[in-house]
Amino acid sequence: MSSELPAFSPTKEFKYTESPNPGWNFGQGIETTAEGREWAEGEKAGWKIVDASKEDSSKLYSLLLTGIVPRPVAFVSTISPEGVENIAPFSWFNQVTFNPPVVSFSSAQGSQAAKDTVRNIRSGTGFTVNIISEPWVEQANACSTSAPPDVSEWPLSGLTKADSIHVKAPRVKESAFSMECELFQAIDIHDQTTGEVTATLVLGLIKYIHIRKDVINDRGTVDPGKLKPVARMGGLAYAKVSEGYILPRRPWAEVKDAIANN
């Protein structure tokens, strides 16, 4: 299949463009642009309503995976109490808050036991969350294989371990943005009928952040064009993150005046 596809074009920079409708003003509906009118045309197809409590779970899984996009990806490195290292990607991932600095990811478990990642984290050895960059997404993706608990994914990935300073689990040397985390809380999610655990939401307290200096911009923050993060889409798809636009977040005092002068 891949031979029929155009070649991948590596991200060279994060290009900023105008926003989709730079002339937009408060109160204007979507009919003011051709794209907005075309979007509204889609309503003619009507809505399909899915009753989540009745939908087949594998269909629900695919639907949510394709509808809730794009997702960032946490590449989570852990270590078992016996010293077996493990690394796997998780896209049910995000920042929860910054005070205290907490990230979350969720691991599904179906009828099998919890995934190695969750078992290791519950043992209290700490973990690292590494942001994946485009040049090594294949290596990271390979770690999603269901290797048995006594087999580490590190050798098959071709990636390099780097020592953490606070937790036992290593970080990924190739990652330009890694967070050393302690377990803050693990919350089991249960099937509503059988009560069996179907997933675990892991909250991680960030203790240290390792940022490669070449991805830091003059404001001390991360330049997306240098970080080249990957985004997870539905099914087996990923997306590039190479173009963006800026929309201001106006304080209410300004919004109030703008509405009054409209």
Ligand X SMILES: Cc1cc2nc3c(=O)[nH]c(=O)nc-3n(C[C@H](O)[C@H](O)[C@H](O)COP(=O)(O)O)c2cc1C
Residues near ligand X (CB under 6 A) are: 73, 86, 88-92, 106-108, 115-117, 141, 144, 146, 232
CB of 117 to ligand X, least distance (A): 3
Nearest to residue 154, comparing CAs of 76, 237, 207?
A: 76
For residue 8, CA distances in Å to 5, 110, 225 come to 9, 35, 16
Residue 112 DSSP label = S
Identify how many contiguous H helices and E strands the chain contains and give both numbers: 7, 13
**Burial level of 181, CB count in 10 A (0-12/13-18/19+)?**
buried
CB of 45 to ligand X, least distance (A): 30
CB of 99 to ligand X, least distance (A): 25
CB of 94 to ligand X, least distance (A): 11
Q: Are 77 and 171 in contact (CB under 8 A)?
A: yes
Q: Which is nearer to ligand X, 36 or 234 (CB)?
A: 234
Q: Which is nearer to ligand X, 107 or 139 (CB)?
A: 107
**Alpha-carbon span 200 to 156, nearest angstrom:** 26
Q: Which is nearer to ligand X, 21 or 144 (CB)?
A: 144
CB of 137 to ligand X, least distance (A): 9
Q: Which is nearer to ligand X, 91 or 164 (CB)?
A: 91
What does residue 120 show for φ and ψ, rounded to 5 degrees?
-65, -45
Find the DSSP H helices in 204-262: 224-227, 252-260
